[in-house]
Amino acid sequence: MPLPRAVLPDGHQRVRFHWRYRDLDGSASGDGAARVAPPDSARLDFLLSGPIGGGGYALLLGDTLVAPGSGSARRYLPATPMLWATLGRLAVPAAADTMVRVDGDTVRADIGGMGGVGQGGTTWRVAFAAGQLVSLARLSDGRVRELVTRDLGQARVRYENKGARRSLTLTQVRSEAVSDFDPDVWHR
């Protein structure tokens, strides 16, 4: 059985969200916006709440993540495949081994690295419900290292890095279709 298509929806979108980051050193939060341009481009802007203010941005251009400046935005962000999953796009590296399971309207798949504990390799575990990407996990040696979960009913996305004990939660405030973006947003 083929996996459901997990691509960005047609048309340009601007998504406004609240974000909250936590790690062992503390937490930060604020507001943000994602400018999403299919098939494989997005810009995420993060504004920091509080008296310090500030923020940063990151560009997702295909398989490349660019977070210029002092790197403040990069600190909060997961690796590229996990970040794409937060937006609903499946963009994991190609692999020969894929195992698919179906349970009602839920489709689960393990992609690549089918070796067990001690056999190395990365396995990407993906789940779809009603055709929508709802989770992506990166496993190594049979253990979940990173996880993205998408609660579409609550308009909430959560990223967790188990080893580093850090998380990033995005809660959507508003999404709107837009005709286009100023070309400068991709080059700053």
Give DSSP secondary structure letters for 119-162.
Answer: S--EEEEEEEETTEEEEEEEEETTEEEEEEEEETTTTEEEEEET
Question: What is the mean predicted confidence (pLDDT) over 61-66?
Answer: 91
Q: Give 117's pLDDT tier (boundaries 50, 70, 90).
A: very low
Percent of the chain with pLDDT over 90: 56
Residues 6+ apart with CB under 8 A from 148: 78, 82, 85, 86, 135, 136, 137, 157, 158, 159
Dist CA 72 CA 105 (whole Å) = 39
Domain ranges within the chain, ordered by starting residue: 12-186
Per the CB < 8 A criterion, the answer to whether 105 and 129 are in contact is yes
Is residue 40 a contact partner of residue 90, using CB atoms and an 8 Å limit?
Answer: no
Residue 94: what are its φ and ψ, rounded to 5°? Answer: -65, 145
Q: Is residue 147's pLDDT more than 90?
A: yes
Under 8 Å between Cβ of 52 and 71: no
Q: Are 32 and 43 in contact (CB under 8 A)?
A: no
* Mean per-residue pLDDT of the chain: 88
Model's pTM, two decimal places? 0.89
Confidence of residue 61 (pLDDT cuts 50, 70, 90): very high
Residue range 12-186 forms a domain whose CATH class is mainly beta
